[in-house]
Amino acid sequence: MADNLPSEFDVIVIGTGLPESITAAACSRSGQRVLHVDSRSYYGGNWASFSFSGLLSWLKEYQENSDIVNENPAWQEHILENEEAIALSRKDKTIQHVEVFCYASQDLHEDVEETGALQKNHASVTSVNPTEGEHSAYLPSEDESSSTVSCQMPTEQTPNSDLESSLEINDVEATGEEEKRCDDKTCVKSASEEETSENVLTTEDTTLQPRKNRITYSQIIKEGRRFNIDLVSKLLYSRGLLIDLLIKSNVSRYAEFKNITRILAFREGRVEQVPCSRADVFNSKQLTMVEKRMLMKFLTFCMEYEKHPDEYKAYEEITFSEYLKTQKLTPNLQYFLLHSIAMTSETASNTIDGLKATKNFLHCLGRYGNTPFLFPLYGQGELPQCFCRSLNEVERLLIRMCAVFGGIYCLRHSVQCLVVDKESRKCKAVIDQFGQRIISKHFLVEDSYFSENTCSHVQYRQISRSVLITDRSVLKADSDQQISILTVPAVETGTFAVRVIELCSSTMTCMKGTYLVHLTCTSSKTAREDLEPVVQKLFTPYTETEIENEEDEKPRLLWALYFNMRDSSDVSRNSYNDLPSNIYVCSGPDCALGNDNAVKQAETLFQQICPNEDFCPPPPNPEDIVIDGDSLQSEASESSFIPEVNSETPKESRSLGNPELSSQ
């Protein structure tokens, strides 16, 4: 950690989540001196990604630090008579109701270690007999929360040498790669380099492999670095605000993405694929010819519905579900449109919201693939760091940009309090864990850092999250490298639809032969109570008994994590007690599928700090930058050290020079 920082900055940012990282990058790019600190040992906060052992360490420290008691604050002696302090919390209360289950075979030996990982924590994982799961789960009290984690994140990815590329997309359909271990790095070999017959193993991989190769817990531990597990599960709309920002700021050259290959629906107890593009619609065997024509006619209307107000004005006050019933659409089409295209529920959206969501879905189709969505290699946790310049891929992108333009980053560096001038009622400085007073004009603070006194009138929503490791996809296909999104509608009144995102190994988020599945919904109860019914519909717990008819068998559940996460995205700034006008609040992740809220929030905060400045403009050509002495050298401290990037990305990535011309 840095114990000798400069004593004055223009902007101090506390927390390294996505909105904080974007804002810090934008301020640095506009010439502001930025200090970006986080008391955690990893970037991203609740936007972070972990390897499997890193996640276990996060769970362990969550348990160990849940009983932190604030001692007598030493910073009080640094407060002058004409000042007052806003104390910051040492205890993160944004994560609750954590439950972990391990269903995979427990053949764990003492000498099994994750390759290249730090010491793991087996105590965090509960071995579960499917019939005894309720009695053996770990369930902390509501007061318990996550805390600082010491974990090893993947080293940063090397920027593509073709700097003209706007965005890197990996073609999932062409992924037949073979992964192999080279020292501590993952080397991915393209199938085109070694296969003489491309389609020989396709059927065998998708049907026979799970039967032949049972995944054990020791395998998961040993291959733990192949996992990149997001705390928050999101996708990027191909024409969304974040993709536009990545391209505009030229940060996209540091990232690679995968197309989401399938949009699925859960209907009448089974999973089926939803036709999205025109080709999908007319090739679909699920729809009759009449239904195909009806669907194409309605989708064409949605693309330009504003031009035909007479078609929907009379229905503005009713739900989108009721509106669809007036459009002479079959129940089959209504279901697909409501849950898999508009991605809403029977009661959640009115007609206008539903039409807007459908238009946005259609507008994003075809830019980079047959679905509207992209997923960043190595997980969502990469995004903030792209703008800041450090450890993760899409998080990694944010951190890179800010550090290049003068930002200083300090992990494991706590801010004890904010110092407020009594006369002007403006915040003037912070006092860190070493008692150093650091002066600044503007202060951005992530919501989780505020104490209970500051947040006593704030009403938070909660997000229910689950992370699963399974042995096969929820819907078999010719290729085992499918990335899918599925919406499971709510069954009971007062509950919410559950969003399911299933990731294959080519996303660099799980080991080969497994799938990483994320479930998300707005909380009505604890995460397990909200999500376990959906898990039971889609998966079956792993058992040692071989099931005779594997064709009808659901995917096996190997490992499961449930937790609730705070959603502060809709909290008004006025809800916080007595915050000076130059303290800005950044929220944590919301429950939405995309990242638009984080980008909008970052741009709003940036315009308040730097009015009339361009938000994240493209950086100058590196050849035009004149370096004055060693001004861009790293602050020589462990907390601001920026590691070299690594290149463990699939070789099938292709460059898109102009994304507008890449539509297929």
- Alpha helices by DSSP H, listed for 284-328, are 289-303, 320-325
Which one, of 468, 500, 497, lies nearest residue 233 by Cα? 500
CA distances from 589 to 192, 241, 503 (A): 39, 16, 20
- Terminal-to-terminal C-alpha distance of the chain: 49
The neighbour count for residue 83, using CB atoms within 10 Å, is: 14
For residue 333, what are the contacts with CB-CB under 8 A and spacing of at least 6?
287, 291, 294, 295, 298, 324
pLDDT in tens, 41-50: 888 899 999 9
Which pLDDT band holds residue 109 (cuts at 50, 70, 90)?
Answer: low
* pLDDT > 70 in the chain, percent: 70
CATH architecture, range 277-364:
Orthogonal Bundle (1.10)
pLDDT in tens, 495-536: 899 999 999 999 999 999 999 999 999 999 999 999 999 999
Furthest CA-CA distance within the chain: 79
Are 190 and 280 in contact by the 8 Å Cβ rule? The answer is no
157 pLDDT above the threshold of 80: no
Q: What is the mean pLDDT of residues 348-353?
A: 90
548's tokens: 């005779």
552 pLDDT above the threshold of 70: no
Which pLDDT band holds residue 64 (cuts at 50, 70, 90)?
Answer: confident
Contacts 24+ apart (CB under 8 A), 489-495: 489/266, 489/339, 489/345, 489/346, 490/345, 491/533, 494/524, 495/521, 495/524, 495/530
Which pLDDT band holds residue 463 (cuts at 50, 70, 90)?
Answer: very high
3-state secondary structure of 242: helix
Q: Which CATH superfamily is domain 8-92+379-458+569-609 in?
A: FAD/NAD(P)-binding domain (3.50.50.60)
Q: Which range among 340-349, 352-361, 410-419, 550-559 shows the weakest confidence by mean pLDDT?
A: 550-559
Are 358 and 302 in contact by the 8 Å Cβ rule? The answer is yes
Say how far apart CA 326 and CA 355 lie, in whole Å.
14
* Stated pTM of the model: 0.79
pLDDT in tens, 623-642: 555 544 444 443 333 333 33
Question: Residue 621: its pLDDT value, please?
Answer: 62
283 pLDDT above the threshold of 60: yes
659 pLDDT above the threshold of 70: no
pLDDT in tens, 391-411: 333 344 555 555 555 568 788
Higher pLDDT, 404 or 147: 404
Say how far apart CA 616 and CA 612 lie, in whole Å.
12
Which one, of 84, 74, 76, 5, lies nearest residue 37 by Cα? 5
444 membership: H or E segment, kind and range: strand 442-446
Concatenating the DSSP letter of every residue in 385-441 gives HHHHTSSSSTTHHHHHHHHHTT-EEEES--EEEEEEETTT--EEEEEETT--EEE-S
Higher pLDDT, 405 or 456: 456
Which pLDDT band holds residue 345 (cuts at 50, 70, 90)?
Answer: confident
Report phi then psi at 520, rounded to 5: -145, 140
Averaged pLDDT score across all residues of the chain: 77
Which one, of 171, 51, 182, lies nearest residue 651 by Cα? 171
pLDDT in tens, 194-226: 333 334 333 344 444 444 467 899 999 999 999
Question: Residue 509: its pLDDT value, please?
Answer: 96
For the chain, the structural domain boundaries read 8-92+379-458+569-609, 277-364
Estimate the share of the chain in helix, then strand, then coil, as percent rounded to the nearest 5.
Answer: 30, 20, 50
pLDDT in tens, 357-383: 999 999 999 888 889 999 999 998 888
Residues in the chain, total: 664
